[in-house]
């Protein structure tokens, strides 16, 4: 039901469709280097996938994976990258790097299926899979998830097959599948056979309440981009890590490079000493509520809030929404929209202290971050006073505020990237 009302909103509000998720984001056309940091997101996925396999034990899995039932499935391993509609050849360029480092990846210890260092949020993956620990995952459970899933992905003998049930919003499903294909290229022969249902809509749908009392009912293992405390949906990195063509957002590694340069342009002390937010306020009432905290004749809540008009940006070639040009304020506000917001990582990467409005939803990494260490929490029921206080605190504790900003950024740059030994050199260089 949530999903259909969501679609309704999309239909009626083109603006919501474009900026549905994010807002202050945009892109950069001029970054020359590509270090393919997406590789490390790929590792997260390996971990999720392998954990699922181990954790669920998948007792009847092997028995049921009868591959005569490939009816309706398409082999996607050989598939081409999804195309950016704009003059963007980033994705294409990456594929070169992938093939050259593929051999390197496979020459590493092939028995080593987990990254050498486990970021703090990895333990949540086990938590997310706990509902299936006792029972394993049955064919019936997976089937049931097809009610809302956009696609079903099967990996068998290192090849990926997909069956599509419905079209996702924009190109989310294409970019998500592309991410999984990259995974196969990075780790040839190292993925277990698997079968997963993916729902590319925003809000979680597997309500845990439905499974508490009745033992006979088993929750569907359904993957999606975010979940909440009342749901059992399994979180998975969102499509924008590989790119978001509709709003011209490049893959995460590229965006991160751009933001790094943006960070360098305005030193913390020279940044505007107010809380900044730019986004689409129409996707959820909580964002409309935030706008009430903008500076007015009568009140100054220490904020500077702006509406992002994606329709206009799109027509003007996204000139005014470059991510790297948005690291100019000491404080940046994160607020979720209809669900979690992909803007989160771009906001956090700015070295500014993130003012994090109390969320309902979580994505795959946010549970590894700590309030007052990586961000400053903002009350959702009295946003204006909470924001005003946070900014005041920051401006009177400049060093501490800067430290929180830096720690948050470092988490996003390093933990959500988990570079391995090969990439450590690159990190040392960019941090010096």
Ligand X SMILES: *[C@@H]1O[C@H](CO)[C@@H](O)[C@H](O)[C@H]1NC(C)=O
Q: How many CB atoms lie within 10 A of CB 167?
A: 12
Q: Which of 51, 77, 93, 102 binds ligand X (CB under 6 A)?
A: 93
Please identify, among the stretches 85-93, 130-138, 190-198, 368-376, the one whose residues bind ligand X according to the rule CB under 6 A. 85-93
Is 306 near ligand X (CB under 6 A)?
yes
CA distance 369 to 429: 25
Contact 169, 342 (CB under 8 A): no
Q: Which of 295, 372, 398, 426 binds ligand X (CB under 6 A)?
A: 295
Total residues at interface with ligand X (CB under 6 A): 16
- Tabulate helix, strand, coil % of the chain (nearest 5): 45, 15, 40
Pairing type for strands 159-164 and 74-75 reads antiparallel
User: Minimum distance between the CB of residue 92 and ligand X, rounded to whole angstroms?
Assistant: 7
CA dihedral 337, 343, 347, 353 (to 10 degrees): 30
* CA angle centred on 229, ends 213 and 343, rounded to 5°: 155
Is 211 near ligand X (CB under 6 A)?
no
Residue 148 token pair = 């809302």
In the block, tokens 């809509």 appear at 201
Q: Which of 77, 95, 101, 294 binds ligand X (CB under 6 A)?
A: 294
Is 99 near ligand X (CB under 6 A)?
no
CA distance 432 to 430: 6
Q: Which of 42, 46, 49, 90 binds ligand X (CB under 6 A)?
A: 90
Is 86 near ligand X (CB under 6 A)?
no
Is 426 near ligand X (CB under 6 A)?
no
Q: Which of 232, 245, 305, 357 binds ligand X (CB under 6 A)?
A: 305
Is 107 near ligand X (CB under 6 A)?
no
Burial grade of 288 (CB within 10 A; 0-12, 13-18, 19 or more): exposed
User: Minimum distance between the CB of residue 377 and ligand X, rounded to whole angstroms?
Assistant: 23
Is 325 near ligand X (CB under 6 A)?
no
Residue 388 token pair = 């005003």
Please identify, among the stretches 159-167, 211-219, 288-296, 404-412, the one whose residues bind ligand X according to the rule CB under 6 A. 288-296
Is 373 near ligand X (CB under 6 A)?
no
| Chain residues in the site for ligand X (CB under 6 A) | 32, 89-90, 93, 109, 111, 261, 264, 291, 294-295, 304-307, 430
């Amino acid at each position: 039901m949530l999903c259909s009302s969501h679609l309704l909103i999309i239909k009626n509000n083109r603006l919501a469709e474009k900026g549905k998720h994010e807002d202050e984001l945009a892109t950069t056309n001029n970054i020359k280097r590509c270090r393919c940091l997406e590789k490390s997101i790929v590792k997260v996925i390996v971990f999720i996938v392998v954990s699922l396999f181990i954790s669920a034990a998948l007792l009847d899995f092997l028995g049921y994976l009868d591959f005569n039932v490939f009816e309706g499935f398409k082999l996607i391993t050989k598939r081409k990258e999804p195309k950016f509609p704009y003059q963007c050849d980033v994705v294409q360029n990456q594929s070169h790097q992938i093939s050259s480092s593929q051999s390197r990846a496979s020459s590493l210890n092939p028995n080593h299926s987990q990254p050498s260092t486990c970021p703090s949020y990895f333990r949540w993956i086990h938590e997310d899979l706990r509902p299936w620990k006792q029972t394993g995952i049955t064919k019936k459970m997976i089937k049931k998830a097809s009610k809302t899933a956009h696609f079903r992905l099967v990996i068998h003998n290192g090849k990926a097959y997909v069956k599509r049930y419905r079209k996702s919003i924009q190109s989310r499903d294409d970019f998500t599948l592309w991410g999984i294909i990259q995974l196969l290229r990075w780790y040839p022969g190292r993925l277990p056979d698997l079968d997963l249902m993916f729902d590319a809509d925003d809000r979680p749908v597997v309500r845990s309440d439905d499974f508490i009392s009745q033992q006979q009912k088993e929750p569907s293992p359904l993957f999606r981009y975010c979940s909440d405390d009342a749901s059992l949906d399994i979180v998975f990195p969102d499509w924008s890590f590989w790119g978001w063509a509709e709003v011209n957002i490049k893959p995460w590694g590229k965006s991160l490079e751009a933001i790094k340069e943006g960070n360098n342009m305005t030193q913390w002390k020279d940044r505007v000493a107010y809380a900044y937010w730019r986004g689409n306020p129409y996707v959820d009432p909580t964002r409309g509520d935030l706008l009430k905290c903008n500076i007015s004749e009568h009140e100054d809540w220490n904020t500077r809030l702006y509406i992002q008009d994606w329709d206009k940006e799109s027509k003007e070639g996204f000139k005014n929404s470059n991510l790297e040009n948005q690291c100019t304020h000491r404080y940046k506000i994160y607020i979720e929209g209809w669900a979690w917001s992909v803007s989160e990582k771009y906001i956090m990467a700015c070295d500014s202290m993130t003012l994090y409005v109390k969320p309902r939803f979580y994505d795959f990494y946010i549970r590894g971050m700590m309030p007052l260490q990586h961000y400053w929490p903002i009350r959702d029921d009295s946003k204006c006073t909470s924001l005003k206080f946070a900014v005041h605190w920051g401006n009177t504790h400049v060093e501490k505020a800067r430290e929180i900003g830096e720690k948050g950024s470092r988490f996003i740059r390093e933990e959500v990237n988990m570079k391995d030994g090969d990439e450590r050199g690159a990190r040392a260089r960019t941090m010096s």
